[in-house]
């Protein structure tokens, strides 16, 4: 959720022409990370949960790529890029740990 909030804050000043491009895509991918975690958890089975965690991890990879693109286009500075990518790495670490714990249950 912190990552989503950070993405919304950094994309607010993006150029107007990006509101339906990179900005929207980055926001959608970021929202998809916790949304898929929640949906998977609500499915009730470890196998389904793991599937949605995997989808969440894919969305996180999209977010990382779009952060790098945003920096290359100079929409965000290097410090912001580093901070956001660090947040992504922390979320990835947590997701991977949760996936591993579910694999051990099966």
Q: Where are the alpha helices (DSSP H) in the chain?
A: 2-11, 22-42, 46-72, 78-105
The answer, as to whether pTM is greater than 0.75, is yes
Q: Tell me: the pLDDT tens digits for 46-65?
A: 899 999 999 999 999 999 99
Residue among 63, 79, 76 at smallest CA distance from 25: 63
Low-confidence spans in the chain with pLDDT less than 70: 106
Task: Look at the chain and count its residues.
Answer: 106
pLDDT at 30: 98
pLDDT at 106: 63
| Placement of tokens 């470890």 in the chain | 46
Distance set, CA 46 to CA 40, 49, 100 (Å): 9, 5, 11
pLDDT at 8: 97
Contacts of 88 (CB under 8 A, 6+ apart): 3, 60, 63, 64, 67
Please name each of the domains of the chain with its CATH number: 2-7+19-105 (1.20.1440.60)
């Amino acid at each position: 959720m912190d990552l989503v909030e950070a993405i919304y804050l950094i994309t607010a000043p993006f150029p107007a022409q990006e509101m339906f491009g990179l900005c929207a895509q980055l926001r959608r991918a970021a929202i998809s990370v916790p949304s898929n975690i929640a949906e998977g958890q609500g499915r009730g089975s470890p196998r389904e949960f793991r599937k949605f965690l995997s989808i969440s991890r894919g969305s996180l990879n999209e977010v990382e790529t779009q952060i790098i693109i945003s920096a290359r286009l100079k929409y965000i500075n290097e410090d912001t890029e580093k901070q956001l990518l660090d947040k992504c790495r922390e979320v990835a670490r947590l997701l991977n740990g949760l996936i591993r714990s579910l694999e051990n249950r099966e």
